[in-house]
Amino acid sequence: MTGSQDDSQRQKTSVKAFGFPSEYRIRSQQDFDAVYAAKQRAGDQNLLLFAIRNGLPHTRLGLSVSKKNGNAIRRARKKRLLREAFRLIHSRLPAGLDLVVIPRADREGDLAEYQKSLKYLSQKLNRRLEQQPG
């Protein structure tokens, strides 16, 4: 390999290590419905989280950003921030959960606030799910 090819390969590897692969996303309506049906939720001033055990070795993220959060530009920005917050801290979140995240419409959170809320609320829900029988 030449020097530039080696650098290119190294860059792809480091980008991939910090990516947000599809196995970390909740995509099907059936999975979203299962999380909502479990009725396990926790919230703070920034976010409302719903959670359920997924039987996987990792936690998955689903986003639900309604039109109450503003126009398409504002909603897309919130989704980008939430995905980035999850991506940066997913290794510190409890494993084996499906999380559906709903941002509060009346708050414009930043990345640090979303990270703090995600971590705190997911740990709170994990403790609650551990106490449930079955």
Question: Which whole number is the average pLDDT over 20-41?
Answer: 93
Q: Tell me the CATH number at 65.
A: 3.30.230.10
- Whether the predicted model's global pTM rises above the 0.85 cut: no
Task: List the structure tokens of 122.
Answer: 């997911």
**Contact in structure between 128 and 99 (CB atoms under 8 Å):** no
pLDDT of residue 3: 54
What does the alpha-carbon distance between residue 24 and residue 53 come to, in Å, rounded to a whole number? Answer: 14
- pLDDT bucket at 22, cuts 50 / 70 / 90: confident
Query: Is 12 inside any structural domain?
Result: no
**Number of independent structural domains in the chain:** 1
Backbone angles phi, psi at 98, to 5 degrees: -105, 120
What does the alpha-carbon distance between residue 51 and residue 101 come to, in Å, rounded to a whole number? Answer: 9
Domain that holds residue 98: 21-131
